[in-house]
Structure 1
Amino acid sequence: MLFNVYPLYDIEPVKAQGSYLWDTKGDRYLDLYGGHAVISVGHTHPHYVAALTDQLSKISFYSNSVKVSMQEELATKLGALSGYTDYALFLCNSGAEANENALKLASFHNGRTKVVSFKKSFHGRTAGAVAVTDNPAIVAPINYNEHVTFLPYNDVEAAQNGITDETCAVIVEGIQGVGGINVASDEFLQALRRRCDETGAILILDSVQCGYGRSGQFFSHQFSGIDPDLITMAKGMGNGFPIGGVLISPKFKATYGMLGTTFGGNHLACRAAIAVLDIMKEESLIDNAAKVGEHLMKGIEQIGGYKELRGRGLMIGIEYDFPVETLRNSLLFDHHIFTGVAGKHTLRLLPSLALRIEEADVFLEALSKEVKVVS
């Protein structure tokens, strides 16, 4: 018997290709949610499938006690595509684990314990990650931590006052995903960078959901022109194969045993992540995310009926003044389109970066019909 597994819908995808899923009945669905922003280059991309199949026929796993040359290849390609060529890479298995290790690195570096996070943040479900998450639905009493302060998001004055010489780290999402697709302003991120420099605090950019090209830049904070001390990532990094990582600025010095992982950086995970980067580069998927995202935003604006439209690239939140559950259900069951939500009032779109204009138009036509019904 499974514990705490309650599928929202009695639909089981059994086949997938590109931006589409097929269920057990053979019905096709347009996937605009990508399994929580995980599917970055599209379902079952031929290059991705071939790479993992080939790797499975050779070796799928051995421990980090031996050399895994693909880890170095992955780090080099990630640095080149993201622009962070002088940053080191620590590989792990998930976004929560990446954030845990980033917080640990920060505390190792300056010896401090106090952390600043932000309202409506989501950083994961493990002990340290959930302690810096502002979501009472998942934060158990044991997870509350007197060392963590939550400040208002996008409030420069609050950040100036709340980040002090006692602050170990500031952890922030470039675009809040679960919190409602709230986009950090350039002014806000620049203020965080300045204040961390002034106080010696470590700036951690959680790019687990808003990274890997989704925003139209490799990392969404790159719109602001800042360089964080630590950048965490996962989700789209493996296109469905579990992998996470931390990009680490040169100010950090590694020592043996400081960080560790059993499964992180295994052969299959690295091969998946390398395939993702190769596809992103070859097919210009970051540019495509920007182009198709702009098309979607303009189309949604023309449809209207919303309270607020937020996002960048293919990370879009449409907030309505009514609960969106009915709208989401109508899109799913009447039009066979998967979308997500963020809270009760925001429809959340996180499709593959390979989404095509004509696929976006299928959604826009369906949304136009359904908004008129439910509004």
Structure 2
Amino acid sequence: MSLFDVYPLFDITPVKAKDVFVYDKNGIEYLDLYGGHAVISIGHSHPEYVSSLSNQLNHIGFYSNSIQNPLQVELAQDIETLSGCKDYQLFLCNSGAEANENALKLASFQTGKSKVIAFKNGFHGRTSAAVAATDNAKIIAPINAQQEVERFELGDLKGVENALAKNDVCAIIIETIQGIGGLDEVSTEFFKGLEALSKKYNTMLIADEIQCGFGRTGDFFAFQKHGITPDIISMAKGMGNGFPIGGILIHPSIKASYGLLGTTFGGNHLACAASLAVLKVLRCENLMENAKTVSNYFAEKAKAIPQIKAVKGRGLMLGLEFDFPIADLRKDLIYKHHIFTGSAKNPNLLRILPPLTIQKKHVDLFFEALKKAL
């Protein structure tokens, strides 16, 4: 049996990883500045993470959500403490797409409406409503296209209000900082405008923090910079450091009922153990502060390279914008200089999404290689 050929693959086979480095089957060491799509938050094979999962597996790895699981309660408490999002409710699932799917479903239940407002260059997942809200026609199948989605330019508050005035919108979904779309972020004024409009027109405001959440920007959630209170916050990627886990935080004004949402694997014992380890390391190693420190250092180093036209993003969710397509540059970095980086919908943007444990010395390695590659 062959694999379903949907991924363009680099000819590299990792067999081991430690902190910010990955090692292939030939023993070659690669500096990981991509973290597998921003998933690796506390570094590969962190001892606290390995210990937490190993210990949990020795007790119980899985049971369904038909029984008590105190680890879920502990995880909810730790997220509240570290994020400062008081009194929200936690629903756990398995991925970012599933998180956004549940967020949109819950918004529709809550408002009795079905239309979604999303934004150009946004990416929210590959499942039914989530992919319909994603700005990529190539991955939206006819069965997904039946979802009602209206898409606006980032910053178009007037267009959003005109759509909301029809009173058929259940949710506004927005990435606080766009990931694959190219690291774009709008102003605080725009976010506050969306918040006000969502209240005015009985619409749920969903902050998609799948990629930019869990400490990656230096704040626990990227939206917190803007001083808003979303109705629903979706999260995943860095939440489990590689173990599949996602979730939504739900404002206390939204009431639960039995059967409203559900999942077989979501919030299982191993997933909770993984996320609890992530939160412990984020706190004990001050990784959110490290994200800010290293980010500032990165931006200073970038100033010395004239080919870089802009540094986009915040914290350790960064993009280097050039005035030429970066596809060949990215290949040179991985094959000649052994550094993983990422691409974006913007063909001129090189994405940098390293583990939050990265140090200045690793940034130096990258810029030395980048100068040679350029």
Indicate whether the TM-score tops 0.5. Answer: yes
Structure 1 unpaired stretches of 5+: none
1:317, distance to aligned residue in structure 2 (A): 1.2
Amino acid at match of 2:351: R
* 2:21 maps to 1:16: no
1:293, distance to aligned residue in structure 2 (A): 1.2
Q: 1:160, 1:191 within 8 Å by CA — same for their partners in 2?
A: no
User: TM-score normalized by structure 1?
Assistant: 0.97
Paired residue for 1:273? 275
Paired residue for 1:370? 373
Amino acid at match of 1:359: H
The 2-side partners of 1:242 and 1:304 are apart by 40
1:6, distance to aligned residue in structure 2 (A): 3.4
The 2-side partners of 1:23 and 1:272 are apart by 24
RMSD: 1.2
Paired residue for 2:153? 152
Which of these residues, 334, 337, 362, is aligned with residue 359 of structure 1? 362
The 1-side partners of 2:297 and 2:137 are apart by 35
Q: For residues 66-85 of structure 1, what are the alpha-carbon distances to aligned partners after superposition, in whole Å with 9 as ceiling and x for unaligned?
A: 00100000000001101112
1:7, distance to aligned residue in structure 2 (A): 4.2
The 1-side partners of 2:186 and 2:291 are apart by 19
The 2-side partners of 1:351 and 1:186 are apart by 26
Amino acid at match of 2:349: T
Paired residue for 1:323? 325
Structure 2 unpaired stretches of 5+: none
Q: 2:30, 2:339 within 8 Å by CA — same for their partners in 1?
A: yes
Matches within 5 A, 1:60-75: 60-75=61-76
Paired residue for 2:313? 311
User: TM-score normalized by structure 2?
Assistant: 0.97
Amino acid at match of 1:194: A
Which of these residues, 343, 346, 349, is aligned with residue 346 of structure 1? 349
Q: 2:120, 2:153 within 8 Å by CA — same for their partners in 1?
A: yes
Q: For residues 225-257 of structure 1, what are the alpha-carbon distances to aligned partners after superposition, in whole Å with 9 as ceiling and x for unaligned?
A: 111000000010000000000000011000000
Which of these residues, 250, 263, 270, is aligned with residue 248 of structure 1? 250
The 2-side partners of 1:266 and 1:190 are apart by 36
Three-state SS of the structure 2 residue aligned to 1:191 is: helix
1:309, distance to aligned residue in structure 2 (A): 2.3
Paired residue for 1:99? 100
The 1-side partners of 2:87 and 2:149 are apart by 30
Percent identical pairs in the alignment equals: 53
Amino acid at match of 1:199: Y
The 1-side partners of 2:272 and 2:289 are apart by 24
Q: For residues 25-58 of structure 1, what are the alpha-carbon distances to aligned partners after superposition, in whole Å with 9 as ceiling and x for unaligned?
A: 0000000000000000000000100110111111
Q: 2:129, 2:147 within 8 Å by CA — same for their partners in 1?
A: no
Amino acid at match of 2:219: Q
Paired residue for 1:223? 225
1:127, distance to aligned residue in structure 2 (A): 0.8
The 2-side partners of 1:205 and 1:61 are apart by 29
